[in-house]
Structure 1
Amino acid sequence: MWRCPLGLLLLLLLAGELALGARRGRGRRELAPALHLRGIRDAGGRYCQEQDLCCRGRADECALPYLGVTCYCDLFCNRTVSDCCPDFWDFCLGVPPPFPPVQGCVHRGRVYPVLGTYWDNCNRCWRAGNHSAFWGMTLDEGIRYRLGTIRPSSSVTSMNEIHTVLGPGEVLPTAFEASEKWPNLIHEPLDQGNCAGSWAFSTAAVASDRVSIHSLGHMTPVLSPQNLLSCDTHNQQGCRGGHLDGAWWFLRRRGVVSDHCYPFSGRERDEAGPAPRCMMHSRAMGRGKRQATAHCPNSRVHTNDIYQVTPAYRLGSSEKEIMKELMENGPVQALMEVHEDFFLYQGGVYSHTPVSHGRPERYRRHGTHSVKITGWGEETLPDGRTLKYWTAANSWGPAWGERGHFRIVRGANECDIESFVLGVWGRVGMEDMGHH
């Protein structure tokens, strides 16, 4: 099994892109990748020793495949850039290597350096990589500070599902993206920073798109997650987690302003600090509409319009029902379980890869998150099978994943993403449509 120091930065996923290719021509040795300058060191590898290779002069045949590139066992390997095999110094020269061994992971008898990605009989792969925003964070901290949706109670998960029926002969397209059907009305992914407030960020993200779509583009607000984090305090914990049903109740009964009016104050990891106090309240003005009772906390913006929604509704968990709702009414909100490998996602169609299976519990922890599903598509695998996926926006900023988005396997309830999906209508009156 794997034996690795696994924090958020473990990049030894059984996923990745094809390695750099076969051996390099001898004339390109000067351009070799400086294996040891990059810190690549297969601490337990037996290369020169295994082949009893050379160890003197300069000979083309003293080359071995090394983790997708080529290493050498001749004296020339240590000239300008070091492309020596890991055991060259020990076996050929009888001296300790001139660099500290990098911690590696053992898999099927081979030692692989961390901070690399490798194929292993992979027919459904996604790319992993390091994200600087998570540098130095442990898995525990990632779960504590980067998620923040509390799994709904049984009374909420038993709420009636609204079933969408496909008409006779109705066929849904193989691919759909909300931003193509509603250009300029689908907003870019948000960034919750180290605030465990995905309950507020995903709610604000879905509501922003839906208000824009249902007002036919007359209103296109980016709604304020901070308004929810600071003011929706009934059974909610701000940047320490919250409930989706409470967030939608607040948006319906109290409403929120735009993010321009009430910007995100950001929260670094300071659990002792108090949550920022609520800077925006609203009052009823008849017909269920509300208006703000304070100026924007941001003094440069004066439009403090309050945006509201109708009651949220739960969709059936069949992929076809979710697809039809998304295509007709706009992006939807979904719960999902985030595992250790999701933090490292860089691209491709994600499915949970249990690289830490069999390791202690602290390496296998996961937590509940919420995201905005924006579309779907499918890919044909090399073996001819079809891989169906959802596209979704996360709230970890544009540098994560595919410009802040990700794709995830569709139709298999991957990471519970189809188990609790919500839609909502923007509360839009004729006066909001520019008609008076």
Structure 2
Amino acid sequence: MLLTKRHLPLLCLLLAPSLAWAVGFQGIPGNYCRYRRPSECCTDRYDDCSVPIQGTLCYCDEFCINKDDPTGHDDCCPDYREVCLGIVSPPDALQRPQADQPPQGCEREGVKVPHLGTHKFNCNQCTCDGTELVCNEDECLLEEELIRQVNLSPTHSTWRASNYTKFWGRTLRDSLLLRTGAQSPSFVMHPIHLQPYASLMPREFDARKKPEWKNLISGIYDQGWCAASWAFSSLAVFQDRLGIMTRGARRLSMEQLVGCAGNDNSCTAGEQIDKVWNYFRRVGVVPENCLPYESGWSGKTQECRVPRGDTSKLRCQRPDLYKSEPAYRISTDEDDIKWEIMTNGPVQAMMRVSRELFMYASGVYICAHQVKGLEHLHTVRLVGWGEEVQKWGQPPTKYWLVANSWGEDWGEKGYFRIRRGTNECGIESYILAVRPRSAGFRYGY
């Protein structure tokens, strides 16, 4: 028997397990002949009078009917009899069994997902398998119910939570990993105790508003999805103090720190904060225009382009290397920390971060008691302090004014306030500061 292309649809159907209940296309829903152009139907035999269906072809000409088998086991399109012959309702015997009808799809939270379709609900990708959604089971960073609970809880009455577009749809694990980045120092650094004049310290202080430091304090950075808070807080503290010392604002290269002071995977694993301060002391950092920040937006650590302080390949004018003296640690005494900020400039602080800080919107943050394993170390910049007046005659809440590195669209324009004097999230336990070197010593040790 000679096989022609007219026999191929029947052969494919005979071999297809999903259609083993019958040979033919009857009962398959859809418009085939009805939408065929230039004409819906063809008279006599015409091999090109066909329409694609399920990976093969069905036909809309008179030859498609198998006159020896009136049950519809032929290669006619499903709607041929209705469109071309005027048979509106095919016999029940020709209907596909109900069990073989295509699945209707899935629905969740008012979203309809077709069979085998996918949809992302918050941080979890889901696939519709028949009428059941099969989803990843990652714990999401933000949940609407959690935000609501925080805002209704009396234990969180001093601050408000909110949703953030850039954090919604992210997993808790990746967010804690990539939006923080600090590691404990590699050696013990003993704190120094100052002798502050408590009578000279005001109830409120903001380094940005000190007349002598006007326009010298760094703004808010966004580290992106790179575990580099260790670099952002360090550089901001250094350039603040460099600007105060030289009476001129500076913008230095964050990309150099991330690419050169850290390890090859510092964007995903973070770094020890003492290493970055050692890099400031030994190598120094070039201006930002020489090497703009990229790692936080590419998601990976860029190659070091200032190897061993070699600036010869940088395309910028005066690629000076700005260095520091060794970093020093301030005691945990509240007055010591305030005195250091007020007299020398902002300081670096290390703290534990849980998912709640990501949803902070305003007010004085109080650290939650999180389950072990759901926190990461993070470094920030303390720029001042103050007191928040409470309702119903309650005593005011003391706070630190803190610059974060999550962008200006987070928190209070990139800042947050956290309760002072109670070592919230460990923020008062490890305070570092530094003194810049003058230009004449930038290549020395």
TM-score (norm 1): 0.64
Residues 272-319 of structure 1: CA distance to partner in whole angstroms, max 9, x if unpaired? x6x321112456xxxxxxxx53243xx4x4231111111100001111
Matching residue of 1:365: 374
Offset at residue 381 of structure 1 (A): 1.3
Query: Structure 1: how far apart are the matches of 2:433 and 2:264?
Result: 22
Matching residue of 2:10: none
Say yes or no: does 1:344 pair with 2:359: yes
Residues 318-353 of structure 1: CA distance to partner in whole angstroms, max 9, x if unpaired? 110000000000000000000110010111111124
Query: Structure 1: how far apart are the matches of 2:179 and 2:423?
Result: 22
Matching residue of 1:405: 415
Offset at residue 238 of structure 1 (A): 4.5
Q: Check the 8 A contact 2:177/2:268 in 1, yes or no.
A: no
Matching residue of 2:311: 293
Matching residue of 1:160: 190
1:236 to 1:115, Cα distance in 2 relative to 1, 3 A: closer
User: For 2:325, which of 310, 326, 331 is the aligned residue?
Assistant: 310
Say yes or no: does 1:191 pair with 2:222: yes
Matching residue of 1:212: 243
User: For 1:381, which of 378, 390, 395 is the aligned residue?
Assistant: 390
The one-letter amino acid of 2:175's match is G
Offset at residue 121 of structure 1 (A): 3.3
Say yes or no: does 1:240 pair with 2:240: no
1:116 to 1:313, Cα distance in 2 relative to 1, 3 A: same
SS in 2 for 1:132: coil
Offset at residue 160 of structure 1 (A): 2.2
Say yes or no: does 1:201 pair with 2:211: no
1:386 to 1:333, Cα distance in 2 relative to 1, 3 A: same
User: For 1:223, which of 245, 252, 255 is the aligned residue?
Assistant: 252
Query: Structure 1: how far apart are the matches of 2:343 and 2:409?
Result: 30
Residues 151-210 of structure 1: CA distance to partner in whole angstroms, max 9, x if unpaired? 224x32xx221211124x634100001011111100111111000011111111111101
1:352 to 1:233, Cα distance in 2 relative to 1, 3 A: closer
Query: Structure 2: how far apart are the matches of 1:314 and 1:369?
Result: 17
The one-letter amino acid of 2:162's match is G
User: For 2:435, which of 414, 417, 425 is the aligned residue?
Assistant: 425
The one-letter amino acid of 2:312's match is A
Structure 2 unaligned segments of length 5 or more: list them: 1-106, 112-120, 122-143
1:268 to 1:422, Cα distance in 2 relative to 1, 3 A: same
Higher relative contact order (CA 8 A, sep 6+): 1
Task: Please list, as runs of the form range in 1=range in 2, the aligned pairs for 1:5-404 lying within 5 A after superposition.
Answer: 100=109, 116=148, 118-121=151-154, 124-153=157-186, 155-156=187-188, 159-167=189-197, 170-181=199-210, 182-217=213-248, 220-233=249-262, 237-267=266-296, 275-281=301-307, 292-296=310-314, 299=315, 301-354=316-369, 365-382=374-391, 383-404=393-414
SS in 2 for 1:186: coil
Q: Check the 8 A contact 2:192/2:329 in 1, yes or no.
A: yes
Residues 33-85 of structure 1: CA distance to partner in whole angstroms, max 9, x if unpaired? xxxxxxxxxxxxxxxxxxxxxxxxxxxxxxxxxxxxxxxxxxxxxxxxxxxxx
Query: Structure 1: how far apart are the matches of 2:271 and 2:255?
Result: 13
Question: More helix by proportion, 1 or 2?
Answer: 2
1:331 to 1:113, Cα distance in 2 relative to 1, 3 A: closer
Query: Structure 2: how far apart are the matches of 1:409 and 1:253?
Result: 36
Q: Check the 8 A contact 1:279/1:294 in 2, yes or no.
A: no
Residues 91-127 of structure 1: CA distance to partner in whole angstroms, max 9, x if unpaired? xxxxxxx995799xxxxxxxx9566464333574211
The one-letter amino acid of 1:224's match is S
1:162 to 1:431, Cα distance in 2 relative to 1, 3 A: closer
SS in 2 for 1:161: coil
Q: Check the 8 A contact 2:324/2:435 in 1, yes or no.
A: yes
Pick the structure with greater CA Rg. Answer: 2
Q: Check the 8 A contact 2:156/2:366 in 1, yes or no.
A: no
1:203 to 1:414, Cα distance in 2 relative to 1, 3 A: same
Matching residue of 1:109: none
Offset at residue 234 of structure 1 (A): 6.1
SS in 2 for 1:260: helix
- Number of aligned positions between the proteins: 301
The one-letter amino acid of 1:183's match is K
The one-letter amino acid of 2:239's match is S
The one-letter amino acid of 1:330's match is G
TM-score (norm 2): 0.62
Q: Check the 8 A contact 2:178/2:267 in 1, yes or no.
A: no
Query: Structure 2: how far apart are the matches of 1:215 and 1:239?
Result: 35
Q: Percent identity?
A: 38
The one-letter amino acid of 1:197's match is A
1:373 to 1:344, Cα distance in 2 relative to 1, 3 A: same
- After superposition, the CA RMSD in angstroms is 2.8
Offset at residue 429 of structure 1 (A): 4.7
Residues 5-29 of structure 1: CA distance to partner in whole angstroms, max 9, x if unpaired? xxxxxxxxxxxxxxxxxxxxxxxxx
Q: Check the 8 A contact 1:229/1:239 in 2, yes or no.
A: no
